């Protein structure tokens, strides 16, 4: 199974800096030599062994626990040795250097995971989630990545694929064995299976979208004249929640971005340079680059002075927003209005950045408008790749329902649905499908 001839790699597995415990992880075929040199023996597999970590003169560099996982039952699928010592940078560095002097090379970034993937210890979706876990910028995203790593995402896709196979088996058996006295495919069963799959896929897609939001965040375009209170709104929105996200490198020069997060969802606020540079910025709304910014947004916030109401020019701006992107009119300075209530349109909200009135409701509505379901518990970290595949799978499934009376076309749409899902988890061949048919039906004219 696993690679016998792999070279041996090592790296500090814990984070940089001072910490209580520091771990050096070593993986490859040279583990025995490393263990003999550093520990004086090969530790009992999967047992915590306390002892000295020795340098080339037999002097102790550090004291700690050694863990030995012989392949293939290890993270990478190869022999793995973990040396858990004290977490000082200098000590860890010495220990790593000691290992590297023993015909071991420094691991490249992600190399342990890559080896795990190449040795079929984890599938592609899992491998990607490890990278996500390391990259995750918010705690919610980290938790969601953890779930994907545990194969929950893969497991859900697998269940989905299993049900799809059952349905395909029925359809293919009907097409390939019309002469057999197999039970005629019962359309009720077919419709029921199809319905179940559709619902499951829909749920998976929702969860995956949540995961994608957690990972990628959403882009919010903030439009408004100066003095309507953009910066105070931003401060209010981010509130106590400290944005862990670093600024995403700007994809356009024209946009000033600020990253905040609401309930763990990273939000990239885009302010248009054009709107900032000109006093008469609203007049410039038709500018092409401003439009480009708006096109990239997942949500447009039009911040207005609540005491002034919606002007004709504001209406024009509103009309120029891309129709397929949700927007929200935010009337600020509600505190100045006193008891005077605004007759609000359904796409508007009244707040006060100064007092905080309406901010919680604004957060809710923003999250809702970008598609956040407030169900972080079910979210999976999904990559663009997964979302794309799931979306395509769903559209093929919808097509399938439209060609129920053309079994060969129905079968084709189901094949394509599965083809997309296979892109996430791995392959399933026609021969597997035939195997299912033969195990279920007595074929044999």
Q: Which residues bind other proteins (CB under 8 A)?
A: 1-6, 117-120, 124, 172, 175-181, 406-409, 411-412, 415, 426-427, 429-431, 433-435, 437-438, 442-445
Q: Is the peptide bond before 353 cis (omega within 30 degrees of 0)?
A: no
In the bound state with other proteins, the residue whose beta carbon lies nearer, of 222 and 411, is 411
Strand 327-332: give its sheet, edge to edge. 255-262, 265-272, 218-224, 299-305, 327-332, 348-350
Start-to-end C-alpha separation, the chain:
41
Q: Please state, in angstroms and rounded to a whole number, the distance separating the CA atoms of residues 45 and 80.
A: 10
Cβ-based neighbours of 440, under 8 Å, separated by 6 or more: 169, 173
Q: How far is the CB of 176 from other proteins (least distance, A)?
A: 5
Q: How far is the CB of 209 from other proteins (least distance, A)?
A: 25
In the bound state with other proteins, the residue whose beta carbon lies nearer, of 3 and 238, is 3
What own/partner pairs with CB < 8 Å and gap ≥ 24 does 269-275 have? Answer: 269/220, 269/222, 269/234, 270/219, 270/220, 270/221, 270/222, 270/296, 270/297, 271/221, 271/222, 271/230, 272/221, 272/223, 275/223, 275/224, 275/225
In the bound state with other proteins, the residue whose beta carbon lies nearer, of 57 and 429, is 429
In the bound state with other proteins, the residue whose beta carbon lies nearer, of 53 and 428, is 428
In the bound state with other proteins, the residue whose beta carbon lies nearer, of 5 and 340, is 5
In the bound state with other proteins, the residue whose beta carbon lies nearer, of 124 and 243, is 124
Q: How far is the CB of 383 from other proteins (least distance, A)?
A: 15
Contact 204, 390 (CB under 8 A): yes
Q: Phi and psi of 372, rounded to 5°?
A: -80, 130
Q: How far is the CB of 29 from other proteins (least distance, A)?
A: 12
Q: How far is the CB of 108 from other proteins (least distance, A)?
A: 13
Q: Please state, in angstroms and rounded to a whole number, the distance separating the CA atoms of residues 345 and 328.
A: 10
Q: How far is the CB of 37 from other proteins (least distance, A)?
A: 24
The closest alpha carbon to 213, from 169, 176, 264, 257, belongs to 264
In the bound state with other proteins, the residue whose beta carbon lies nearer, of 90 and 442, is 442
Q: How far is the CB of 32 from other proteins (least distance, A)?
A: 19
Q: Please state, in angstroms and rounded to a whole number, the distance separating the CA atoms of residues 346 and 11.
A: 56
């Amino acid at each position: 199974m696993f690679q016998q001839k792999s070279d041996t790699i090592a790296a500090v597995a814990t984070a940089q800096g001072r910490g209580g415990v520091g771990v050096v992880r070593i993986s490859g075929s040279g583990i025995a030599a490393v263990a003999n040199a550093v520990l004086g023996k090969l530790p009992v597999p999967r047992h915590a062994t306390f002892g000295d970590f020795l340098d080339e003169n037999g002097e102790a560099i550090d004291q700690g626990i050694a863990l030995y996982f012989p392949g293939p039952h290890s993270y990478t699928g190869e022999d793995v040795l973990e040396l858990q010592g004290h977490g000082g940078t200098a000590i860890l560095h010495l220990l790593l250097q000691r290992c590297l002097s023993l015909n071991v090379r420094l691991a490249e970034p992600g190399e342990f995971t890559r080896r795990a993937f190449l040795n079929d210890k984890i599938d592609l979706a899992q491998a990607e989630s490890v990278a996500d876990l390391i990259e995750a910028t918010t705690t919610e995203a980290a938790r969601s990545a953890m779930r994907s790593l545990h194969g929950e995402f893969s497991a859900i896709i697998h269940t989905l694929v299993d049900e799809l196979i059952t349905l395909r088996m029925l359809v293919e058996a009907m097409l390939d064995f019309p002469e057999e006295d197999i039970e005629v495919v019962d359309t009720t069963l077919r419709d029921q299976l199809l319905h179940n799959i559709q619902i499951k896929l829909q749920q998976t897609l929702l969860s995956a979208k949540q995961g994608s939001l957690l990972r990628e965040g959403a882009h919010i375009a903030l439009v408004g004249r100066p003095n309507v209170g953009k910066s105070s709104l931003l401060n209010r929105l981010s509130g106590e929640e400290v944005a862990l996200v670093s600024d995403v490198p700007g994809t356009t020069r024209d946009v000033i971005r600020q990253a905040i997060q609401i309930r763990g969802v990273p939000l990239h606020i885009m302010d248009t340079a054009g709107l900032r540079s000109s006093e008469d910025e609203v007049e410039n709304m038709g500018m092409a680059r401003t439009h480009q910014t708006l096109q990239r947004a997942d949500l447009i916030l039009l911040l207005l002075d609540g005491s002034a109401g919606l002007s004709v020019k504001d209406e024009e701006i509103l009309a120029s927003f891309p129709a397929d992107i949700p927007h929200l009119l935010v009337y600020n300075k509600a505190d100045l209005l006193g008891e005077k209530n605004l007759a609000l349109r359904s796409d508007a909200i009244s707040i006060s950045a100064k007092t905080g009135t309406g901010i919680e409701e604004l957060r809710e509505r923003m999250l809702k408008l970008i598609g956040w379901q407030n169900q972080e518990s079910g979210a999976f970290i999904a990559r663009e790749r997964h979302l794309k595949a799931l979306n395509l799978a769903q559209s093929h499934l919808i097509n399938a329902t439209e060609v129920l009376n053309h079994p060969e076309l129905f079968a084709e749409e189901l094949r394509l649905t599965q083809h997309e899902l296979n892109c996430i988890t791995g392959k399933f061949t026609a021969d597997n499908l035939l195997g299912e048919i033969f195990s279920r039906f007595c074929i044999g004219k």
